[in-house]
Structure 1
Amino acid sequence: MRLAMTTLGCPDWDVETAFTRASEYGFDGIDFRGLQDNLDITRRPEFTSDIDQTRGLLDETGLAVSALSSSISICDPDSREESVSTAQRLISIAQELDVEYIRVFGKGNASTQSVSEMADEGRETMDEILSLEGATEIQWIVETHDHWTRSDECRVLIDRIDSPCVNVLWDVGHTARVSSESPAETLDTLGSTVEYVHIKDALYDPDHEYAMDDGWRYVAPGTGELPLAETVDLLRERGFDGWILFEHEKRWHPELPDPEQAYPEFVEWFAGLS
């Protein structure tokens, strides 16, 4: 398994700092979910006019871009045109930087549509995206997020799209915390469709000042209640050799530790699991 860090966890860092420190801390790659003041990296010079410099930083550090994490919502028909346009820009970046994965969300309108109807929307959007030049050379990973945190429902979406280029990004916090699934239940349902994994820990502490709406708050890996060690053990047993991303959400939760503390602590914690 390879370790990646997300730029969600270091919203103040420029791209050179991100690469330098990721290498220093012992990560194998960086997942770009925005950079500094812009969540859409396709609007940043580091990924457009100055992409050759970014490529040079990759080569110098020996790191990989583990994924480009987009805001594309494939099950939302109102955003389909923008989703396809964004996908086209991301494909160009992925080709320049040898990126294998692009993350997308499912989303959709669960108040007016069934899971099956939303899955149909997802298939239609992905059909358009996969018709773009270069799209089938990339793995499009749908996160277990929003309306798709239950593994059986996420499986409906993946099976409906029915393409070897579309698989699952398993966010363990969502399946365990939101949908109350054990890691074994999730893996039994999603199986080999899991291509990429997000982990972070959380504690149910509804009276804490930083508790989220559901009463949980994020804490350092290994100090909360989510089954992270069990997840890693099961993935190893099943021969998973893909990316494990520490999703440190400093951008959304500024009260969390600074990346200079959180990222090396994660690498040390993960090493202790082996």
Structure 2
Amino acid sequence: MKLAFSTLGVPGLPLPDVSRLAAAHGWDGVELRAHPEEPLHPGSGPAERADAVRRFAADGVRILGVAGYARVAGPGPDEPVFDELDALVRLAADLGAPFVRVFPGAGEQPAEEAEAAAARRLAWVAPLAADLGVRVLLETHDSHPRAQDAVRVLGPVGHRNVGALWDLLHTWRNGEPPAVTLPALAPHLGYVQVKDVVSAEDLTPLPLGAGAVPIAACVAELLAAGWDGWLCWEYEKRWHPEAPDFAGLAGPGREYLAGLLPR
């Protein structure tokens, strides 16, 4: 497996520093949070995109994905969501990133209506994603936190360029253990986000292995299934400014994940 971290853990850090931090501690890749408050997002111009590609390549670090904020099951017309999806896929393609993350975000709508909208919107973007060599991944999050929830959307789409991002925290805290999640998501799985927190009720971020999230069980299930993709540490410093800085945890965090893998 390859190991990455999300820039959610290093909010606002200039991209050259992100790349150097990853390289210094042996991380294979970085997931870029694509929000307007970050250095790189769908509104960034061609020069900024090309510069990011050069800098990461120079450090030997892969841009794993673009973590977008499109809510594909959200209420309202399709066109604004289409525009968001189009922009995210084109950003990922320009960066050479294989993945785009999107959220469900159904809110209080009836589930059937929200899931039909999500499937329709993801099916719309799938041909563009295929043309540009990108996979759009629906994260197990908010209104659809478990594998069984995500599969209700992904099954009707039925396109290889639309898949799932397994956020281990959300499946686990909603009562779905890794041994149940993986078989359901396996046909769709793009990559896996891991994190550690105090408990299912207290989401204060902790160093990997120091909290309650069953990271080791997750990795064991992936290994047993022969899966050889990416693990990405999403340390939620952005939402918890009081948490220790990621820079001091980057080395031990990578060592912890590497220690779960065969040598």
How does the TM-score come out when normalised to structure 1?
A: 0.88
- Residue 103 (structure 2) pairs with residue 105 (structure 1): yes
Instruction: Note the aligned Cα RMSD (angstroms).
Output: 2.1
The equivalent residue for 2:244 is 257
SS in 1 for 2:153: helix
The equivalent residue for 2:216 is 229
The equivalent residue for 1:170 is 166
The answer to whether the Cα contact below 8 Å between 1:32 and 1:65 also exists between their aligned partners in 2 is: yes
Given the superposition, is the C-alpha separation of residues 122 and 228 from structure 1 closer, same or farther in structure 2, using an over 3 Å criterion? same
The equivalent residue for 2:33 is 33
Cα drift, residue 105 of structure 1: 0.8
Quote the Cα distance in structure 2 between the aligned partners of 1:72 and 1:219: 27
User: Matches of residues 1-274 of structure 1 in structure 2 within 5 Å?
Assistant: 1-34=1-34, 37-38=37-38, 41-45=41-45, 48-78=46-76, 80-109=78-107, 111-114=108-111, 116-132=112-128, 137-177=133-173, 179-204=174-199, 214-274=201-261
Which segments of 5 or more consecutive residues in structure 2 lack a partner in the other structure?
Answer: none
The answer to whether the Cα contact below 8 Å between 1:129 and 1:135 also exists between their aligned partners in 2 is: no
Cα drift, residue 89 of structure 1: 2.2
- The residue type paired with residue 5 of structure 1 is F
CA offset digits 1:38-57 (Å, max 9, x no partner): 38711235xx3322222211
Quote the Cα distance in structure 1 between the aligned partners of 2:186 and 2:93: 28
- The residue type paired with residue 204 of structure 1 is S
SS in 2 for 1:204: coil
Quote the Cα distance in structure 2 between the aligned partners of 1:99 and 1:216: 29
CA offset digits 1:66-85 (Å, max 9, x no partner): 00010011111426323222
The answer to whether the Cα contact below 8 Å between 2:164 and 2:191 also exists between their aligned partners in 1 is: yes
How does the TM-score come out when normalised to structure 2?
A: 0.91
The answer to whether the Cα contact below 8 Å between 2:75 and 2:109 also exists between their aligned partners in 1 is: no
Cα drift, residue 126 of structure 1: 1.6
Cα drift, residue 90 of structure 1: 2.4
- The residue type paired with residue 30 of structure 2 is I
SS in 1 for 2:205: strand
Quote the Cα distance in structure 2 between the aligned partners of 1:133 and 1:183: 29
CA offset digits 1:139-184 (Å, max 9, x no partner): 111000011112212111110222111111001100001x111110
- Identical columns (%): 26
SS in 2 for 1:219: coil
Given the superposition, is the C-alpha separation of residues 224 and 149 from structure 1 closer, same or farther in structure 2, using an over 3 Å criterion? same
Given the superposition, is the C-alpha separation of residues 133 and 24 from structure 1 closer, same or farther in structure 2, using an over 3 Å criterion? closer
Which 4+ residue blocks in structure 1 deviate beyond 6 angstroms? none
The answer to whether the Cα contact below 8 Å between 2:15 and 2:39 also exists between their aligned partners in 1 is: no
Given the superposition, is the C-alpha separation of residues 135 and 117 from structure 1 closer, same or farther in structure 2, using an over 3 Å criterion? farther
The number of equivalent residue pairs is 261
- The residue type paired with residue 151 of structure 2 is R
